Amino acid sequence: MTEIASTRVDAAPRGVRMPRDERRAQLLAAATDVFVNNGYHATVMDDIAEHAGVSKPVLYQHFPGKLELYLALLDRHADELVHRVQTAIKETNDNSQRVRNAVGAYFDFVDGEGEAFRLVFESDLRNQPSVQDIVDRMHAACVQAIAQAVVADAGLDADRAWLVAVGVVGASEHGARYWLTRRHELPKEEAVALTASLVWKGLAGFPLQHS
């Protein structure tokens, strides 16, 4: 079991009641640390309560069990990636820059604080249908955003546009995760540019329908 840093997630002083939304956010932050370090199966609710600096009854007031907490956490980080990709694509009408932005969204996600991306891409609970549903929904939302905004100009039908967008997502995710193992040898901006160039050269093979 990987040792978790002894510093607790910021908690309100004892006797001070936190607003429900703030408390929930605090508990999710603590749970991220524990699940990333220990994995789902090796984590117990006591670990999360201790790391958050709360009692177990407080934790159970917000989450009735470990699976419910894990699903809430997974849903939160999956939504974060979808938001990153959708926002990146909406920032420009230039398709080449859209591709670069979308690729960059994946690199920024895996480079985020606390390695929360591991819960999304490397969950040890992927055989659980409720977990797989969240991951599948996240993947589909990212693919759809790319298919609609980037591949549409290639004049492909829906099925072919979706297939190409799946390739963009795959290259972005796996490129970003590989870069994380070589981040000291390869600057992130250069890694994003290389991956985006590969993706864009493939997309440029399709005739654009608009200038």
Q: Where are the domains of the chain?
A: 1-64, 71-203
Identity of residue 4: I
Give 15-72 pLDDT, tens digit per residue.
Answer: 457 788 899 999 999 999 999 999 999 999 999 999 999 999 999 999 999 999 999 9
> Distance between CA atoms of 77 and 109, rounded to whole angstroms?
9
- Answer whether residue 206 shows pLDDT above 70: no
Q: Which of 143, 137, 145 is nearest to 162 (CA)?
A: 143
Residue 5 confidence class, pLDDT cut points 50, 70, 90: very low
Q: Where are the alpha helices (DSSP H) in 66-187?
A: 66-90, 95-110, 117-121, 129-149, 158-180
State the pLDDT at residue 80.
96
Report the CATH fold assignment for 1-64. Arc Repressor Mutant, subunit A (1.10.10)
**CATH class, range 71-203:** mainly alpha
Eight-class DSSP state of 206: S
| pTM, 2 dp | 0.84
> Distance between CA atoms of 146 and 164, rounded to whole angstroms?
9
